[in-house]
Structures are given as structure tokens and as C-alpha cells.
Amino acid sequence: MGNTCVGSRTSTSNGGTRGSSSYWWCRGHKKDSSHAHKGGKKNAKAIDAIQDKPPEVMKIESDEVRPPHQAMETKPAPDQTRAAQPQKPKRPPNVRKPASAGLKADSVLLRKTGHLKDSYNLGPKLGQGQFGTTFLCVEKATGKEYACKSILKRKLVTEEDVEDVRREIQIMHHLAGSPNVISIKEAFEDAVSVHVVMELCAGGELFDRIVERGHYTERKAAKLARTIVGVIESCHSLGVMHRDLKPENFLFVNQQEEAPLKAIDFGLSAFFKPGLSKTFTVN
């Protein structure tokens, strides 16, 4: 084999010698001096203009780059900033802030009570109202079942709401012993809720039983109406107006057909005296 080194292969053209194509390919883009002279001064300047040094490293003094329209903005003087802020109106002297209700109220029942869970075990939820939730509860000492209505104090946003809870418990104690009115056992209060333990009526609402039956005989309807009117007469004789009588607020004691019917939910009830149109509270 012949020599394969760069420049070893030559060819003749018109009696002269010139380097092979392999020689030009191996040398890259570097041209000989004779070719540079043929190109004239323009080629020489182009070679001199080629940058053979890396660009200089630019240092960024701050990581925050501001847009051009923000670069010329200037901060206002401290005095100007203070003058631009509106001044808060001063509170007039000798004005007390009204006391808030709910969780910040000192007490709803206005007396100290024990803890509900010391005497009762809470069970599943039985119903839901606007202010409270009713749970099944079992007395630890006897094992007897009761209903516990727990009223969240955070929902008592006004003093009127707090007064309504006090009056409801007071009226239930006042009506104790009425045969067709639900009886209260005791009440508790803690930092979160007021708990009212009362008689359990497991027979459901009168409304649900009416829907389930579809219709009543005249005799059966008259018996239910007599019971409702008797509740009204009993409350009025004791100076109490229920003010929320409806089928949803009457419960049967049990699931039997002839179970006793009792009135519940005295949250809107009020004391009254004959001849007076304005209700009032009895201490």
C-alpha cells in the first residue's frame, strides 16, 4: 500500500502540481498565504475581524431586574407618604363597646352546672334544628334513655337569642307535669353549648305519621285535635303561649298506634297575662 499521510497524494494539471483534495479537507478552513493575497484587502480585513476571544463575563449586581418604565421611578418622601394615608377617626371618649353574646357571654343559664358527660353518654343524632341538635343520651346511673338538645352558644349572636334559650328552659320547668307536654329533666352548660336533657319521644312526628297513613278517620282526627286543643288550654292556663304549633312540633311517645302525643319545641314561647298584649318574662 502507498503512503496515506496528509499531503502524500498529488495530482498534475497543466504540467503543474497541486495538492490533493484530502490535503485541503484535513487543513480545515485555513487558507494559505497565496490565496489570501488573491482575495485582496477585503479578505484580510475579514480574517482580522474574526473574534478569537471569548466574550467578557458580565456581573449582575442585583438579582432583581426592573422593567425600563420602573427604573426611573423614585420613592416618595416619608412626609408625602404619611400625608397620603387617611387618618382613622378617633373614638369618642366615655363610650363603652356593647357586650357580645355567644361564646363571649359569661353564662346563658346564669348558674353553675355540672358536666353532661359525667352523668350521660351521648348516642346518635335524632334531629336537627335552627340553633340546636338533638341526640339520644343514656343516663349512666340508671341506663334510662333520654333526648338531649345541644344548643351551640356561637349561634347565639344577640342578647335576644340568649334570652330565648333561658326562657325556653324556664317555660319547660314551668309546664312540668302537663300530660301532653314534653318534660324536662335537667340542663347543663359548658364553654361550647347548652344541653337540655328531656323526655324521649321515640314515636316520631305527627307530620310523618299523617303522611304515612295518608288519611285519618273522622273519629281518629277528632281525637288528635282534642289533644292539641288540650295542650293549648293547659299552656294558656299557666300563662304560656306556644306560638309555634304545627304537626312537626308534636311527637308520639312510642311507635304504637294509640301512643300519647306531646308538644315540643318551646323556643318561640312566651309568658303572658290575660288582658296584656305585650309578652314579658317571669323571673
Mean pLDDT on 160-171: 95
pLDDT 10s digits, 166-197: 999 999 999 999 999 999 999 999 999 999 99
Q: Supply the pLDDT for residue 275.
A: 74
**φ and ψ at residue 271, rounded to 5 degrees:** -85, 150
Taking the complete model, does pTM exceed 0.75, yes or no? no
228 grid coordinates: 292539641
Q: Supply the pLDDT for residue 74.
A: 55
Q: Supply the pLDDT for residue 35.
A: 47
Q: Which residues pair with 205 in a beta bridge?
A: 251
| Burial state string for 248-265 with b = 16 or more CB within 10 A and e = fewer than 16 | ebbbbeeeeeebebbbbb
Least confident of 134-143, 160-169, 242-251, 267-276: 267-276
H/E stretch holding 127 reads strand 120-128
116 grid coordinates: 353532661
Least confident of 100-114, 124-138, 151-165, 250-264: 100-114
pLDDT 10s digits, 50-75: 556 666 766 665 555 555 555 455 55
Q: 47 pLDDT exceeds 60?
A: no
Burial of 156 (0-12, 13-18, 19+ CB in 10 A): buried
Contact 197, 185 (CB under 8 A): yes
Task: Name the CA dihedral angle for 106, 112, 118, 123, rounded to a multiple of 10 degrees.
Answer: -50
How would DSSP label each residue in 57-110? PPPPS-S----HHHHT--PPPHHHHHHHSPPPPPPPTT-PPPPP-GGGSS-SSS
C-alpha 241/C-alpha 279 separation (Å) is: 9
Q: In the chain, which residue ranges form alpha helices assigned H by DSSP?
A: 21-26, 33-39, 41-49, 68-71, 78-84, 116-119, 159-174, 206-213, 218-237
pLDDT 10s digits, 195-211: 999 999 999 999 999 99
Domains of the chain: 102-271 (1.10.510.10)
Q: Annotated catalytic sites, by residue?
A: 244
